[in-house]
Structures are given as C-alpha cells and as structure tokens.
Amino acid sequence: MRPILFLAGLLSFQLSHAQELDPRSYINLPIGQNFIGLVYAYTDGDVYTSPDVPIEDLTLRVDGQALLYARTFGLFGQSAKFDMSVGHACASGKAVFEGENVSRGFCGITDTKVRLNYNFHGAPALTLKEFASHKKEIVMGASLQINIPTGEYDTDFVFNIGSNRWYFRPEIGISIPLNKWEFDFSVGGKFFSDNDELKKTSTLAQDPIYNFQMHIVYDIKRGQWIALNANYFQGGDTFVDGEKTSITRGNERLGITYSYAINARHSLKLLANTGVTTRLGNDSNAYGIGWVYRWE
C-alpha cells in the first residue's frame, strides 16, 4: 500500500477527535457515585486533502466499542469528576491514487483517554440524598483531557488505530439552567506532541485545534432529556519533517443527543452528528449508542 494514502487517512482520523459534541459536561452531580459504560460508535465520510496531494475520492469508515469508567467526588467544596476510556476499533479506507483504486482495512486497540472535570462555581459537593433537594444553579467549570498513546501502532503504516503521540485538551465551560431548558457553552483546544515514528524515520507534527461548543438541552421529564448540539473548530495544520502536508480551515458540525434513564441505575444514550460546513478537512457522519450503570 502506498503510504501517502494513509497519511491522508491518519490526518482525517485525528481531525475526527476534534469534533466531539458533549452536552452536560459542566453540570452538578452528586459525589461518591461510580459509573461504568459501554459505547458503540460509527463514523464515515469523505476526506479532503491538500490540492498538491494526488489523491481523489478518499473515504474513511471507523467503527468500534469503548469501555468507560467515571467517579464523582468533592474537591475544595465543589463537585468534580474523573473519567477514563479505552476501546477497540476497526477502520477501512479507499481512494484513487494516481488513477489507481487503493484500499485498506484493519482493527486494533485504541488510545486511552483520561479526564478531570472540576466545577469551580455553582456546584457544591453534595451526597445523593442532599442533591435530591438542591436547586439548579449556573455552573462554571474546567476540564483537562489527556490522550495516552496506548493504542496499537505499526510503524510500517502511516494510518493506525493508535496515534503514537499524546494530546492535551483543556476546556472551560458554563451551564445555564432555565426551567426545563439548559444552555451549555464551552471553549477549548487540543495540543499535540509529535509522532517521531511516522514510517519509522519521519516526524509528524500538528498545530493545535481550537473548538467552541454550544448545546441547547430540554428536560422532557425526570430522567429523560434531548439536546441539540453545535460546534465550530479550527486549526490542525499538519507537518511531516517540517513540510506542511495538510491545511485545515474552520468547520461546523450539528448533532443531537437523547438520554433515557431506564431506572435509577441504568440509562441509555443515543447520538448523531454531521458536518454542516466543511471548507477543508473531514466531512463525516457519526452515530453512537451507549449504556451506563451507576452505583455508590
């Protein structure tokens, strides 16, 4: 397989991580709670490459499962949450390279992600019993997510499930409740370390990707809500051995999330999002379903 195809695929795969649409990241939760979940996600779409890259009709499909764990706790009198996830994914891509149809498919373990959320305003640390009578307030918080490069990575290929590099994703957000409605806003960025084992001898570097999110959430009834999600992300130019290989511009996505509590301990979540305006980068559709179990 010609490596340039999978360079483009790799860039698309990394860009997809900038498109998370995550409502209710900054709300108050009772402390001392544990959550474990299983998620299945599927994404496919077209990938746009730089004009100087001789690739046409590049499409990419990724689907996989992830295991998640989270715990809420008190920190400086406010609520906080730690979560981590790791999964298994399969990817396949095809394109026309210099007039020739090329493709590849493979599977592997994904990178591990860990995150700390801290609500520094409007989210007092409350037990489950205390939380039941607590009135919603405006909550402000911050988070830091770290991608740990534990995923499978083969230096013989440019495109891999694992990224062979770290990234750090700081973010700050606010949640504003209004009767049955809630309005969430957040802004953050992803900052990448270099991958110095690209095709064994090359180094891949990437500029930061900056992201703004907005969510409008409606509580249908107790334990059931729906959210309309939107984000704008920009940046992420990539370089191989110092030479620019991909140019990105601002892009927007829209999505919808639905959450349903089966009972006090089990809940389901459905999500879908798609590219609305893609100037250069990744134009894909994403779908997911998740199950979460809670215990103390």
**Looking at the 3D structure of the chain, how many domains does it have?**
1
Per-residue model confidence (pLDDT) at position 242 = 87
Mention every residue, 6+ apart, whose C-beta is less than 8 A from residue 153: 160, 161, 162, 163, 164, 197
Per-residue model confidence (pLDDT) at position 247 = 58
Query: Which of 20-29, 91-100, 233-242 shows the highest mean pLDDT?
Result: 20-29
Whether 117 shows a pLDDT value over 80: the answer reads yes
In this predicted model, which residue has the larger pLDDT, 16 or 140?
A: 140
**Residue for token digits 């900054």?**
26
Whether 9 shows a pLDDT value over 70: the answer reads no
Give the integer Cα–Cα distance in Å for 27 and 118.
10
Per-residue model confidence (pLDDT) at position 263 = 94
Range with the poorest average pLDDT among 119-123, 133-137, 212-216, 240-244: 240-244
- When pLDDT is averaged across residues 184-210 and rounded to a whole number, the result is 90
In this predicted model, which residue has the larger pLDDT, 119 or 92?
A: 119
Give the integer Cα–Cα distance in Å for 260 and 221.
10
Give the integer Cα–Cα distance in Å for 22 and 141.
14
Whether 250 shows a pLDDT value over 50: the answer reads yes
* Residue-wise pLDDT tens digits, 198-237: 778 888 888 898 999 999 999 999 899 999 999 988 888 8
Label residue 29 left, alpha or beta by phi (over 0 means left) and psi (-120 to 50 means alpha).
Answer: beta
pLDDT band at 269 (very low <50, low <70, confident <90, very high): very high
Per-residue model confidence (pLDDT) at position 1 = 36
State the CATH number of the domain containing residue 240: 2.40.128.130
Burial class (CB in 10 A: 0-12, 13-18, 19+), 272: middle
Mean pLDDT score of the chain, rounded to an integer? Answer: 84
- The pTM for the full model equals 0.87
Per-residue model confidence (pLDDT) at position 55 = 53
CB-based contact 9:97 (threshold 8 Å): no
Q: Which domain holds residue 143?
A: 3-295
CB-based contact 249:271 (threshold 8 Å): no
CB-based contact 127:160 (threshold 8 Å): no
DSSP letter assigned to residue 76: T
Whether 166 shows a pLDDT value over 80: the answer reads yes
